[in-house]
Amino acid sequence: MTRARAGSLRCAVLTAAAVFSTTFVHAAITPLAEPELFAGAPRAWRDALQPDPSNSLAWQLAAEFLEQAEDSDAIEVRRQLVFNEPAVIAHRFALINTALHFGDLPAAQRTLLDLAALEPPSHEHAMAEAAVAFASNYSDVADERLTKELGRAADPTLLSSHQAMLRLRFGNRAEVPAARQELQQLLAARPGDRELQRELIADALRRGDADTALRLSAVAAQPAEAPFADVLLWANTQLLYRRQSFPAVCESLSVRAAARPADALLFTSWLIARGRADAADAWLDRLPDAERQAPELQQAHADCIAARGDWDRALPLIATGAWGPIDNGTVHRVLHEREIGPRRMDHAAWDQAIRAAAGNPDASRVLYRLAVAWGREPQRQAILLAQARRQPPGAWAFQALADHFRQNRNTARLQEVYSEWHQAAPDDLTVEGNLLLLTLLGSRRPTPEMRGHIDELSLQHPDHALLRTVRALALWQQGRADEARAITDNVRSIDRRQSPLAFYHGLFVAAAGGRVHEAEKYLLLSEPAVLLPEEEKLVRVARGLVARIAASE
């Protein structure tokens, strides 16, 4: 959270929480006796978040509960988070982990591939690479990546604990018990290690081991200084196994939430995600006026009103900074005077606000959230483009535009995005690789100048799987299938098998003749991926070649 946190509210707000626990919880939440929004009512979380689909904190809490409940809808919710807040790279890492949790390897691979253009190598990136490698049955590659990242750590158990976590999540049946025992022993030696606690709780939830999940989540939530996220994990576990009623859980949460404004925001967002924006708003109304002035509680109040679809009440709050500081007069005016709104489509007002906010990330973030909330896709794209063109260029904004056009299989617009992105970041190899690939897909044969440039890039960066694939495609387009196959044959197996790239190797193998089963395997690896129309045409060409080879044998 970017806004400054207000001072401690403990004494005054705990008094309000006591009133809440005796009057509000039982009166306002009792009609929803159990949390059926996530159990027994498929996809009801959508209904809860539909009035304001821009509330990323509520979506995040919904994703966490769905994952804890072993509901694969969590992947869709994580994608919405990336859509809602494309600048937050953590959402992409979370999407990778959730996709792997539910066995959607292609989604994890695509997200990891795109991350290469968004940030320099980081610890989180290394952990994601190791997780994808292990889930892809390349445990040696995962161990190599972990050793490189953690081998020199001051804590000698850090490497072994992360290796055990990967074995626990993705290992074969014979490996899992030993990995679990190793993590249990580490937790016994370090009882306050929250990462280990969360890992073992997640393992217990996956296995349906209610006793272990309930015991460990209670331990994690017990200390007064426990992060509220761990308190919510305890609450979710209580509800999943129906050990406490929804009102009883809310009563406990309300007391903890009242101690800190940031926790109050989490609590109200948790209620919104469960379709109880009315309950969250009523709880906030019972807090003393002075306490509700904290920035987090101002946001919580605006979120609750928006979640109930009451934009006439929400917009004045947003205009005065509830969703973030807006120190630009034009943006403030169009919001305060409600020149833009869910039922209005004043293009001139939107354009004016977007231009005025172009140099103001905070104001742009508020406009972006409103565009998402109201389904204003042209305006959302315009805001992203304005942010992409800032100095330094906004790689996250370019990637968000690329995500949209790839998902909609619009090759021409996708190429336009990568062309402008390459002009803004000429040294980014992943961006240039994507642009070259799209250019080849749109042409029958590369020019001599392009061939020379592709050859030079590929030779300079022999470990870059995308650039190697681009060079192989250029050779195949020249009728040199044997050379194309030889290039992708020499790409690391783990990189060659990535869903977005796998079918290219299948095409080159089929075009070179023979190895039919290998070609079929690589074509199948790309089936779950979102392919562009030109890529689907290449898949059809490859399948035709495979059929002819099989018929002639």
At a CB cut-off of 8 Å and minimum separation 6, what does 31 contact?
Answer: none
Query: Which domain does 499 fall in, by range?
Result: 409-550
Task: Select from 308, 337, 359 the last residue of a domain.
Answer: 308
Q: How far separated are the first and last CA of the chain, in Å rounded?
A: 63
Residues 377 and 443 in one domain: no
Residue 91 carries which side chain, given as an amino acid letter?
H
At 241 the three-state DSSP class reads coil
Among 358, 402, 405, smallest CA distance to 382 is for 358
At a CB cut-off of 8 Å and minimum separation 6, what does 2 contact?
Answer: 324, 362
Whether the predicted pLDDT of 21 surpasses 90: no
Return phi, psi of residue 254, to 5°: -60, -40
Residues 486 and 434 in one domain: yes
Separation of alpha carbons 518 and 506, rounded Å: 7
Residues 330 and 267 in one domain: no
Residues 389 and 341 in one domain: yes
Residues 337 and 429 in one domain: no
Q: Nearest 10 degrees: CA dihedral of 93, 97, 103, 105?
A: 30
Place 483 in a pLDDT band, splitting at 50, 70 and 90.
very high
Task: Select from 279, 308, 337 the last residue of a domain.
Answer: 308
Residues 348 and 452 in one domain: no
Whether the predicted pLDDT of 251 surpasses 70: yes
Residues 282 and 330 in one domain: no
Whether the predicted pLDDT of 11 surpasses 90: no
The 10s digit of each residue's pLDDT in 52-109 is 999 999 999 999 999 999 999 999 999 999 999 999 999 999 999 999 999 999 999 9
Count CB neighbours of 210 within 10 A: 15
> What pLDDT is recorded for position 123?
87
Q: State how far the alpha carbon of 403 is from the alpha carbons of 79, 93, 118, 425, in Å.
A: 10, 15, 13, 18
Whether the predicted pLDDT of 201 surpasses 50: yes
Tell me, yes or no, whether 64 lies in a domain: no
Place 1 in a pLDDT band, splitting at 50, 70 and 90.
very low
Task: Select from 332, 365, 396 the last residue of a domain.
Answer: 396
Whether the predicted pLDDT of 472 surpasses 90: yes
Whether the predicted pLDDT of 328 surpasses 90: no
Query: Structurally, how many domains does the chain consist of?
Result: 3
Residues 265 and 378 in one domain: no
Residues 386 and 447 in one domain: no
Residues 460 and 543 in one domain: yes
> What pLDDT is recorded for position 428?
94
Residues 363 and 273 in one domain: no
> What pLDDT is recorded for position 266?
97
Residues 535 and 415 in one domain: yes
The 10s digit of each residue's pLDDT in 356-393 is 998 888 999 999 999 999 999 999 999 999 999 988 88
Separation of alpha carbons 152 and 74, rounded Å: 35
CATH code assigned at 481: 1.25.40
